[in-house]
Structure 1
Amino acid sequence: MEKEFKHTTERKITRYENGEFKEKEDLIALEKPITIRINHTEFATLVCTPDHLEDMVIGFLASEGVIRSYHDVEEMLFNDGQGIVNVKAAVQGSLTSETYTKRVISSCCGKSRHFYLQSDSKTARTIMKAPELTASVCLANMRTLQEQSATFKSTGGVHNAAIFKNGEMVASRTDIGRHNALDKLYGYALRHHLHPSDLSVAFSGRISSEVVIKLSKMGIGVLLSKSAPTELAIQLADDLNITTVGFIRHEGFNVYTKPERILI
């Protein structure tokens, strides 16, 4: 069903270094709009890294409350030239209602929060069960995420996220938008019938409110990040019973919410 794309392209640039300019080839992260049509109705345009698109579309539709499971999707056809994916699915409710309106979700995550408010009330959930992780596993998971992030190392322009189970990485995804990277993981988990109570997520970006809400929609209760949380994210994580661990660097980290799941 899915067409794979590369993450990067090469481009000539001018670099200043040691007092002089030099021309060189550089790797640049790709960014493309993908328009989702559901049952012939245009639903949303996602600006994203054009890779693992089936996972992203499945995760996004589940996150928005349009579908409940992977089995709700009957067909998914990609038109690469037009940047369109046509989805035939058994949807929850009417796509023409006020709950679902045509919109563009940009890769600049901070300005897309208002697009999610209506679906959040339907799909965000309090986490009832989540794994306990040792401190050493938290550090090891973040090292694993960073070590396999080839696109970030070559471009510096993407977010990385990975699902872990019992200290082992199950899947990793890359995208210019942090919400897209999480949707790709969500889609993967749904397609492979992974039970969310067994999983944790390691993440390269800051812990924002929309990231916490996305984890709650996925049903995953432990989030590890190398960056910092916002105050609203901490409040939401506390309310939704999600453990948030930030500033995972070298041999230390901060536990902001639900510290009982992190063990010595």
Structure 2
Amino acid sequence: MAARTTRSHAARSLPGIAVQPTARRGVMRSLPDEEPVAMVFDGTTYAVLMATPADIEDFALGFALSEGIVETRDQIAELTVLEHDNGLEARFWLAADRSKALTARRRAMTGPIGCGLCGIDSLEEALRPLPVLPEGGPVFSAAEVAEATEALRALQPLHDQTRAVHAAGFLVPGKGIVLAREDVGRHNALDKLIGALNAAGIDAATGAVVLTSRVSVEMVQKTVVAGAPVLIAASAPTARALKLAEDAGLTLAAFARAGGFDLYAAPERIVDGDPDVA
């Protein structure tokens, strides 16, 4: 699988007017960039998503994996990221068996950022069955989980610059967050993380996904398909997302901030004290 790196500007400094009760003044603000990214498989556009134009190879690979278009990276014969005047194109050529499977499920997702189900073909596809995660796996201390979102904040240079993007990180017991990705879209940040994990040869089953956002259905779907057994988020889950997590055996910790969290579903992977002696 080959890929060509494209432009990677993630933010631009642009002028504005700061308005205060007693005065106005000119300001320059760093604003996150976003561009349309076309996911093109075997010559046909499958989805167009708005994304921050950085780590696009990770984004494309993670999208292909989390959407179930491919199950492993070696099912991609070629991946090239191309620049166009009006956006970016992630051009995939698939192995023959995956190309045939793709024709069975088509999805057009042209829409605003964060619209993870735009244009989906059916209600059945929106709530597609998820695999059940194996029992066991990594065990985290409650302290690690409580501190996870703050640790992720420390790995968000684009957020520090713009205050306007989401992040997804990968937490390993006893090692902290070992990988993180940012994007204006929370789904995109997670796809970028999944792609980066795969490219780095890191098994998602060995740690936890950490999110700066709420937990929606599609965030649970992507996490489970990636094989991560624990999901930690700064905000709330939806009721439907919680039901999916329970059915899939996904440990879900929400409202993880200010030293605490709420624990839902498969709680046995989070323990008080040192996991090694739990």
How far apart are residue 263 of structure 1 and its match?
Answer: 0.8
Give the 3-state SS of the residue equivalent to 2:223 in structure 1.
helix
Partner residue of 1:32 out of 35, 47, 50? 35
Q: Tell me the distance in 2 between the aligned counterparts of 1:113 and 1:223.
A: 26
Answer yes or no: is 1:173 the counterpart of 2:178.
Answer: no
Contact preservation (8 Å) 2:49, 2:111: yes
Paired with 1:87 and 1:41, the residues of 2 have a C-alpha distance of: 9
Q: How far apart in 2 are the matches of 1:132 and 1:106?
A: 37
User: Which of the numbers 222, 227, 230 marks the counterpart of 1:222?
Assistant: 230
Unaligned runs of 5+ in 2: 273-278
Task: Give secondary structure in 2 for the equivalent of 1:57.
Answer: helix
Give, in whole Å, the separation in 2 of the partners of 1:103 and 1:246.
28
The aligned residue for residue 44 of structure 1 is: 47
1-side partners of 2:78 and 2:99: how far apart? 19
What CA distance in whole angstroms lies between the structure 1 residues aligned with 2:250 and 2:107? 29
TM-score by length of 2: 0.86
Output the aligned Cα RMSD: 2.2
State the partner residue of 2:259. Answer: 251
The letter for the 1-side match of 2:190 is L
What is the number of equivalent residue pairs in this alignment? 263
Q: Is the 8 A contact 1:163 1:169 kept in 2?
A: yes
Q: Of residues 144, 147, 152 in structure 2, which corresponds to 1:140? A: 147
Number of the residue aligned with 1:64: 67
Equivalent residue letter for 2:212: S
Out of 246-255 and 99-108, give the one that drifted further.
99-108
From 80, 89, 93, the equivalent of 1:77 is: 80
Within 2, Cα distance between the matches of 1:258 and 1:96? 33
Is the Cα contact below 8 Å between 1:95 and 1:101 reproduced in 2? no
Separation of aligned partners in 2, 1:157 and 1:118: 31
What aligned pairs does 1:179-198 form with structure 2 within 5 A after superposition?
179-198=187-206
Q: Shift of residue 183 of structure 1?
A: 0.8
Contact 1:44 1:105 in 2 (8 A): no
Aligned to 2:94: 89
Go from structure 1 to structure 2 and tell me whether the alpha carbon gap of 1:120 and 1:193 turns closer, same or farther (over 3 Å shift): farther
- Residue 113 and residue 231 in structure 1: after superposition, are their counterparts in 2 closer, same or farther (change >3 A)? farther
Q: Deviations over 1:146-193 (max 9, x none)?
A: 112122233222111101222322210001111111111111122222
Q: Residue 227 and residue 39 in structure 1: after superposition, are their counterparts in 2 closer, same or farther (change >3 A)?
A: same
CA contact (8 A) 1:7 1:29 kept: yes
Q: TM-score, normalised by structure 1?
A: 0.91
The alpha-carbon deviation at position 43 of structure 1 amounts to: 1.9
> Once the 2 structures are TM-superposed, how far is the Cα of residue 73 of structure 1 from its aligned partner?
1.7
CA deviation vs aligned residue, 1:202-261 (integer Å, no higher than 9, x gap): 110001111111111111111111111111111111111111111112221111222221
**Contact 1:43–1:95 at 8 Å: present in 2 too?**
no
Q: 1:105 to 1:89 in 2, by over 3 A?
A: farther
Change in CA separation of 1:228 and 1:96 when aligned onto 2, cut-off 3 Å: closer
Task: Tell me, yes or no, if the aligned pair for 2:75 and 2:98 is still in contact at 8 Å.
Answer: no
Identity between Structure 1 and Structure 2 (%)? 25
Q: Distance in 2 between matches of 1:101 and 1:223?
A: 26
- Tell me which amino acid in the other structure corresponds to 1:25: M
Q: Does 1:209 align with 2:195?
A: no
Question: Structure 1 residues 105 and 164 mapped into 2: Cα distance closer, same or farther (>3 Å)?
Answer: farther
In structure 2, relative to structure 1, the CA distance for the partners of 1:50 and 1:146 (3 Å cut) is same
| C-alpha spacing 1:95/1:105, structure 2 compared with 1 (3 Å) | farther
Counterpart-to-counterpart distance in 2, 1:245 and 1:17: 40
For residues 190 and 105 of structure 1, the distance between their equivalents in structure 2, rounded to whole angstroms, comes to: 27
Provide the rounded CA distance (Å) in 2 between the counterparts of 1:51 and 1:96.
Answer: 27
CA distance in 2, matches of 1:115, 1:201: 28
Tell me, yes or no, if the aligned pair for 2:147 and 2:256 is still in contact at 8 Å. no
CA distance in 1, matches of 2:121, 2:143: 37
Distance in 2 (CA, whole Å) between partners of 1:249 and 1:62 is: 30
Q: Take 1:93 and 1:78, find their aligned partners in 2: how far apart are those partners?
A: 19
| Residue ranges of structure 1 left out of the alignment (5+ in a row) | none
| Cα distance change of structure 1 residues 99 and 258 upon mapping to structure 2, 3 Å threshold | same
